[in-house]
Structure 1
Amino acid sequence: MEGEEKIFSENLAVLAKRWPSLAQMVLAQDIGSLAVDLRKGIESTITINGIQLSSRHDRIGEARLQAESLQGSCPFVYLYGPGLGELPRAFLKRSDVQKLEVRILNEKIFALVMHLVDQTDWLGSPRVSLAMAGDDRNIFLPFFASPPELTLASDTNAKIRDRLVCQMTAPFMNKDFLPNDLNLLARVESNRTLLASDGDVSEFFNSRPGDEAWVIATGPSLERHFEQICASRNQGSAPFLIAVDSALVPLHKHGIRPDIVVSIDKLMNAHILPPDISDGLPLVYFPLLEPALLEAWKGPRYAAYSTNPLYSKLKRDVPKGELFVGGSVLHAAVDLAVKMGVRRLVLFGADFSYVEGKFHADWDPGEIAPDMEPLEWVLNGHGKRVGTQTNLRNYLCALEDYVALHPDVIFLNTCRDGAWIAGTDYHPELVA
């Protein structure tokens, strides 16, 4: 205990001299609430909630490999999660690193390590800057994120953790939409004739300047709003209604007809997007949809592209307007509303998480998407953790980036139980 007190006192002195507010934060932490165990091997490490903070056999060697994983010259490096101290030291040994920006992902873990291990060398380095990860809205490149500390990130740092994971998983998430995929190129090309004869999404642009639009996604909280939406439509008071494809059937069951349906998915089918209820209903679509499904649609069709190079050749030959897509059809629906000129956009069913154990509104588990247990978490509008999946969390980050780029539009959400969407407020009357 005496040795721990000496280590903590020396670490705290350096911290207080350089970052007094962080020293106060460390002193305020209740580290006794952490589930900590010593894990021994050739060396030793500690576990938090069963997760090792580092190798138990060669902590220095592991940190060296991690620091070397950043290729090329890196004058500035962002390190998310200092671990037991080996990681900052390993990056400081790189001669090209002029500035090491260390970000804390969990306050209690950082305070615990300050009690256990001497950190004075790297804390005292003039090349090091230290801050809470959650103090930044965005992440910075190049970065290295400690995998254990990503898993153990605290609630106050959850949003930046989400962005780190989104950046790291982007190559995997995008692998099904590579621009050189021959099957995708063939599908896009198979729609060339339809594209040439169909309408252009840009025909809708600037058509509703200053208006309000309701964008309907299929998160489980949508079920709470069917009556409200239906009543507004029947009274003729509902704003313009844009629905994502998987919301069409649930809306139809409750007597609600949207003004536009948006679909982008190559796997879309007539079960989710049934042509028999499409009379007169405008469909905004991307060229990845099945040609037979498009041909069966009874309402007017309007084609759109994204920035994916997959569409480059068609864009030159058959020009159409573009919509933003960050992985989800909801992005395209939101961008359509904004490009129509709306200044107030209300989101329904934009949960990006499980709500009351459900994944989609009004669809049976597994009916339109694999039925999976939530493996990740995000914070909801009550500041509580709710289960989610990696893809949903990535879609959430993409929408938050989009919202940040459109400060002139008021974005309102209608459910606190789903994921908190940074940059949005909650609708004072429709929130449920």
Structure 2
Amino acid sequence: MTDLFAKNVDIISQRWPILASALKFESIDHFDAHLVEGNNQTISVDGIQLSSRHNRIAEAKLLINQLPLVCDNVTVYGVGMGDVMSLLIDNKQLQSIEVVPLNLSLLALLLSFTDQSEWLSDPRVTVAYKVHQHKINQPNIVITPDLLLANNENAILRDHLVLENNRAYVNRQHQPANPEVQKRLNENAQAIANDPDASTLILPHGQYKAHLIGSGPTLENHYDYLRAQRKLPIGQRSLMIAVDTALKALIHENIIPDIVVSIDNKITPAHFPDTIPSSITLVYFPTLSSSIHGQWPGPKFIAYSKNPIYDTLDKQYPKLRLFTNGSVIHPAIDLAVYLKIKEITLFGCDFSYPGNKTHAFWHDGALGPSINNQNHHWVINGHGERVATDLNFRGYLRSLEHYISAKQHVRFYQSSLDGARIHGAQYKDLSL
């Protein structure tokens, strides 16, 4: 324990005794930490600087200037070098400043080597210990290095913060005026007018259970189970809905799903098997290439996402509107719920790279993500361990969890503990 740590924690003990007790038990030995010199001094932790080394105050002001002109409270996610809080307490307009550390060990490290007593002593400041993982306070400031160094307990909150920070950028890619989207919709004008609405899709029998099949690596562990399920009489087996990139693997294993969902304008015929059984129903968004839906041998139905790009079309040619937030898994699940499925078991919905693979069946990089581009991105799997992932996968996972929390009438199960832990979905052991 350093003298600075003792000084800082003495203040915390008086104000937040539970937090102080927790900090005293936090180890900082696992960090690769050292000072970095520039125009200013900062700390590098596991190769990540906690602030700029060129002009820390200018960086902090840049973050603070993103706040609304008039606000009386603010939440700061992360701590950095403490510069943001040091400047915020100079703002007499602010009535409350909540600080949410994303890694208590990182906070302990900062308190061990820097004096943070000024802002810790300010009566308007509150330092949170346990925080809601699915709720983001507004207005807020997010300290980026702390996102990269978040601990396991705050992984969900970290992902929601990243999603929120990138929402405006992502939404720009899905505006009605996007020329690429408009070009594809124009190409599919005849199909939009003629192909039936997915809301008219009627199941051949009254299932209340569905197997929802993604293309994650753990799908390979369940081929035998799914093949056996597919051989059951039609009235006894679960409805089988697969995403487009899982179909090649399934057909290769002689597993024929009932429905395939495809939405991405970048999907090509190469993503599908050479021969597709005519018994498979396609549900697609009109951003899909006509080289796929135009040649589909079986029944096909159109749906739209809830994105504004479809609002005008929906007035002229109404279609089922399905939830999506980046992944084809989202509308596939929403379709199952629309079809009044009450129990959904997820296969290959890993949102991560278990076994150091990105997808079942496909070679590394064939579908975009590669295990060579993991960087610092990770999620917690069903065993409570970190597993590598892609930044987009993290966003898809959190969006799905939000969706599940809103569907209390549907039971969700995940078939593997090796992929990302999906909160709201109970593990179902299918090896018995």
Q: Is the 8 A contact 1:81 1:146 kept in 2?
A: yes
Q: Which residue of 2 aligns with 1:293?
A: 292
Query: Aligned with 1:136: secondary structure?
Result: coil
Q: Which residue of 2 aligns with 1:426?
A: 427
- State how far apart, in whole Å, the 2-side matches of 1:156 and 1:208 are: 43
Equivalent residue letter for 1:256: I
Q: Is the 8 A contact 2:342 2:410 kept in 1?
A: yes
Query: Does 1:313 pair with 2:320?
Result: no
Name the stretch that deviates more: 357-366 or 93-102: 93-102
Q: Which residue of the other structure, out of 20, 28, 40, is the alignment partner of 1:23?
A: 20
Kindly report which structure 2 residues correspond to 1:317-328, keeping only aligned pairs within 5 A, or say none: 317-328=316-327
Equivalent residue letter for 1:296: Q
- State how far apart, in whole Å, the 1-side matches of 2:204 and 2:98 are: 46
- State how far apart, in whole Å, the 2-side matches of 1:396 and 1:133 are: 22
Q: Which residue of the other structure, out of 39, 42, 47, is the alignment partner of 2:36?
A: 39
Name the stretch that deviates more: 272-281 or 156-165: 272-281
- State how far apart, in whole Å, the 2-side matches of 1:317 and 1:261 are: 26
Query: Does 1:342 pair with 2:355?
Result: no
- Specify every segment of 5 or more residues in structure 2 that has no aligned partner in the other structure, as ranges: none
Q: Is the 8 A contact 1:80 1:105 kept in 2?
A: yes
- Specify every segment of 5 or more residues in structure 1 that has no aligned partner in the other structure, as ranges: none
Q: Is the 8 A contact 2:197 2:319 kept in 1?
A: yes
The Cα shift of 1:382 comes to 1.2
Q: Which residue of the other structure, out of 134, 139, 142, is the alignment partner of 2:139?
A: 142
- State how far apart, in whole Å, the 2-side matches of 1:48 and 1:153 are: 12
Equivalent residue letter for 2:332: A
The Cα shift of 1:213 comes to 0.7
Query: Aligned with 1:109: secondary structure?
Result: helix
Equivalent residue letter for 2:103: N
- State how far apart, in whole Å, the 1-side matches of 2:29 and 2:310 are: 56
Q: Which residue of 2 aligns with 1:377?
A: 378
Kindly report which structure 2 residues correspond to 1:216-255, keeping only aligned pairs within 5 A, or say none: 216-236=213-233, 237-255=236-254
- State how far apart, in whole Å, the 2-side matches of 1:33 and 1:367 are: 36
Deviation string, structure 1 residues 246-305 (Cα, Å, up to 9, x no partner): 111111111111111111011122122347314132111101011232221111111111
Q: Cα distance 1:395–1:285, how it changes in 2: closer, same or farther (>3 A)?
A: same
Equivalent residue letter for 2:381: N
Equivalent residue letter for 1:263: S
Q: Which residue of 2 aligns with 1:77?
A: 74
Query: Does 1:154 pair with 2:171?
Result: no
Q: Which residue of the other structure, out of 87, 90, 115, is the alignment partner of 1:93?
A: 90
Equivalent residue letter for 1:130: V
Q: Which residue of 1 aligns with 2:388?
A: 387
The Cα shift of 1:407 comes to 2.0
What TM-score, normalized to structure 1? 0.93
What TM-score, normalized to structure 2? 0.93
Kindly report which structure 2 residues correspond to 1:120-269, keeping only aligned pairs within 5 A, or say none: 120-132=117-129, 134-204=131-201, 211-236=208-233, 237-269=236-268
- State how far apart, in whole Å, the 2-side matches of 1:206 and 1:129 are: 55
Deviation string, structure 1 residues 197-247 (Cα, Å, up to 9, x no partner): 222111248998781111000001101101110011113343110010111
Q: Which residue of 2 aligns with 1:65?
A: 62
Deviation string, structure 1 residues 79-134 (Cα, Å, up to 9, x no partner): 11122221112223334433222101111111122222232322232322221465
Equivalent residue letter for 2:177: N
- State how far apart, in whole Å, the 2-side matches of 1:144 and 1:169 are: 14
Q: Which residue of 2 aligns with 1:415?
A: 416
